[in-house]
Structure 1
Amino acid sequence: MATSSEGEDFLSDLLKCSICLEIYKKPKCLPCLHSFCETCLQAYVSSSTDDKTSNTEDLKTKVDTYTISKQSEFHCPTCRNVVKIEDNSSKTTWLKNLPDNFFIVNLIDRRSIKTESKTCDPCASDGKQEPASTWCVNCTEALCKQCGDYHKKFRSFRNHSFLDLHLVKTQEKAPFTGFIPCPDHPSTQAQVFCVDHHVACCTLCATIRHRKCSDILTLEEAAKDVKNEKVTHDLKAKLEELATNIQMKISSRKERQKNLQASKEAIEQEVNTMTNEAISHLETLRASFKQELHKYQEDVSETLESEISNLSNLLSRVVYQKQLLTASVEQGSNEECLVERQHILKSEGEIKNDSSVFPVKISTGKLSFRADSEFLNLKSKIRTLGHYVEPKKYCMKKGKIELLHKNDLCVGVCNAVFDNQGNIFITDYGRERVFECDITLNCKSTVSVPGKPRDITIDKAGHIFVSLPMEKEVIAVNTKKSTVQKIFSTSIVCWALYWMNDTFFISNGDIIQIYSDVGKKRDEIETSTTWMISGKQDSESILYSKDDKLMETSVCSKEEKILSSGSGCGLRGVSNDLEGNIYTIGINNNKLYQFSSDGYLIREVNMGEFHLKGDPWSVRLSDGNMFVITTTRGSVALFEITSDE
């Protein structure tokens, strides 16, 4: 159920002119029933017709007074239907004669009354702030008690309709008062209806403006039984259908917004992960390089320290011998000098040999760095982290059908269905189980069921329902929680199962039975060789095969339309895409058929090209451009309709 705020938002959108996008000001209704502000419509008609003026200063005068010499026309800004302007009529006169949309006026009044804290409008013009208690429908003004009493005393205002503001604020329905003003005399009640011009007016307007019209009725006579007329009901149904269609488009765009936000966040997360992994990898390389560099520096330093220590010891010996020789020369006798010199000569060769091990000049020891060529080119090569990929544009009628994945997942006949997340749920007849796969056909979860499951369907909330034909039961399956719950029993063997609009459709091949969401049987349709059922997107029609013919039937009514026929092809699975195209499988000729919504054959595809095990049995479309085909021997194949560009 919509909340009050959602209702107010919807009402606000309903009361906005589609040209100026503001609340309607004197809404006029075109023959196609779309309404616009009178001033907006005047400007639009002026710019759309062939009446051109070169002098912009005289534009308003020329628009008001120019008489059309021949019939002129323009397109409705909303539905683009052609609207013709009458011969010998000025635009201003023609526009003023268009019927006012009093329903919208009443809704605007109701909205104004209910959403604003009203003060008396006449008192406000004198700078006073008096609370209003009455609303004049004809003047569209709020009045305090005193002004309301005065208002009713004047002759011109005696016939005006008044509403109690307190009561109106608590009303849920539009405040229809019974007073219908004449378009040209707002203070006068409309009393007659011109059938020729489809407008209600007062008797004065009928005498002057509609004297040549052939069909003038009293308003009461014209409106007799109008609520029960087929036109009213048809119009209401069309408006409901239009509102549903528009709401679907709004929901589709909101879903696109949601998907856009989710995919943007996913891409950001992926980029963050990717860059963090790259940074982490570089940090690892840097730490490893620093460790290797430090170890090399330590090893070389240790060697140099050892050499310095040995050379220092040799230096100490040489210095000591030099000191002894000098002292013996300066202070000792010739004999002592001779003995000491001989002693030094004996050890000189040994010291010289030890010193020669260490060359005088060695490398400077200064290290240099030569970066890896790939690392040096990293900055120049990597100019971007990547780019986002826009969703593929595809046409289901013309796009190329490509096989993405195939796998032998089941034993015997299997059926499959997509959820709104792109996951695939499959019944495995031979193994008595239902399992969930991703779009690569990898099993994510599985649950055993108390019987051999045949058909599978899903509701808008994502609940999975499965038929158990031998048990004559319909069950609900939750693969994530591994739970199975019986929903209801059927009076026939339930081979086919399909959910649409809180209704279950079940077939044993010869009869289609219709059950409520709690398992109460509502109706049944005679058929033959109907092993699977589907429904047209967002409609009340179901699709099923019958004697090699594809049938479309409105719920609880007779068969209305044969979409296709074949000779011995053995039609089985049937489904449709978001564009309304219909797909069905021929089990005997191994073909996939694609039809337009009105039964025109778009193409047929030989499934033998894809080498699936078994004969094709079912076909199910996703909410996008993918579909899954199952076979009689447990094969599952996922296909994509790619862009035709």
Structure 2
Amino acid sequence: MASNFESSIQRGCDFIHDFSCSPCEENGFNTEAHHYCTQCTKYYCQNCVSKHNGLYQKHAVLGRKEVNKWESAPRVVDALERCGMHPGEALKLVCGDHDQLCCSVCVAIDHRQCSKIQHIPDVAKGVQRNIEFQQIPKKIAEVQKQFEKMKEARLKNTTSLKKTRAAISDEIKTIRKRINEILDKIEKTTLQNLDGMIAELEKKLKKDIETCDKMTIELQNMIAAFQTKAKSSESKSYIAYRKSQDMISQANDHLRGISIIECYNVTFQANNLIEEILSSIKTFGSIEEQTVMTKQREDPLADPSHVFSVAEYKEYHVKMSDDKYLCYIHGVCEMSCGEFVIADFNNCKVTLFDKEFRMLDHCVVPEYPWDVCHIGGNEVAVCVNSELYFINATKGRLVTTRKLSLTHHCYTAAHHGGQLYISSGTALFIYTISGQKVKMLYENKSGNWTVRKCAISNDGETIYITNNNKHQLITLDNNGNQLAVLTDPDMKNPTGVHVTATGHVFVCCCGSNTVLQVDKDGKKKLATLARKDDGMSGPSGLFFSSRTSSLIVVGEKDTLLVIKFI
């Protein structure tokens, strides 16, 4: 029967009936219906209708002449057997070419050219004895259980988000309190300065008043004495005359000294920088969504010991038309939106690029920029000698919002956990984001570049430092204790270091023109990923983009190198 049915389909679907006999179909036969019972809502062939009529003599049975009434009659199809594409049709066929359940309409429209159309009753024979069929309820139950667990996890996540909101809200209130305390302190200091200045001026005024009173009394006494002596002997009159002249001269001296200043006044010039900074800051901090992906065993990037393989090297031109000098890019970082920021040392510029490394904007800094690091959201920090400039990238534009002045050189900066890790060249300091020094974490005065650049692991437990002077990668714990020192023939004058969120460590070396991958413990080299022949020239900084699974390397060139990994 199946072979006859298949051959009939190939000849134009002659045996795909518009209405099939319901009892025959239930027994695995494909028979055309000639009758329809409105009470049973079933179709019957000539053989089956006689049995039906014998049992249900009072049922209204319609023949082929009234087939138009069949179409308008309700056709009840079990939900499980209903065609997804044509809900009014029952699933009766299977297309082997597409491994798809079909109704007669599906076959007529979409599967006319298919060669493996079978009737479901033929395919379904023995299915109930199939082990996979018998395991279906168990599999459904397992999937259902997974959904229940997922729902429970999502409910817990909802609760944790509410707690997170409350915790962040408390932190924001604490920041607001600290800001209020800072403003109160600024106000107090300003008023103290004002009160001190007023007191000093009042003291000067009091002294002038006392001088006026003293001189008035002395002059009155002199007039009285002069008038008395003027009537006595000439000698006494002469003495009175001379002393009066001295008194007048002294009085004029006092007048000149006092009259130099017509009056004392105090003015106030507001520090607009405070208002400008506060106005430019839209939030107390960046709020970012963090999606913790389910760890997949087959994902090599989730394994910190995975050694990367290079798929290709590609260079992108970054020199601008008005640049006077060869680009020497000391730092690069990627922001949350996927845009990149580079610090061009030679041309004193910070430049913003889109995801395809097309230039969007740039801003000039007053001196040579040594490094740039991502703070959060669209904010970066740029190291300029002993100052740290904070720059926002908003809608493709770079805007400097504030700066921190330090008491030492600022050659590199890294941000983690709301703190700044800043290198002076021979020491690594920790600062708050507002610029308050927390402590000196590490120091090495054996050379000039013993602390060139640094990177902090995602958990904050491990810190990597490049010792350019000694050709070393130093690994520290978060208390500044030395855990490991790595040297390698391919590691000459290491400059940039970067650690990914999953613990992969990369180092670039300007002396050997190499890019290396190092194990997370900082004890051994895993691979040399790039050399001079691959486009390396004085590499100074690097950044791994998890979005594109590629490493961006910058240095003493008008181009940056993108190392795409497999």
Task: State the TM-score, normalizing by the size of structure 2.
Answer: 0.42
Task: State the TM-score, normalizing by the size of structure 1.
Answer: 0.37
| RCO comparison, higher one (Cα < 8 Å, 6+) | 2
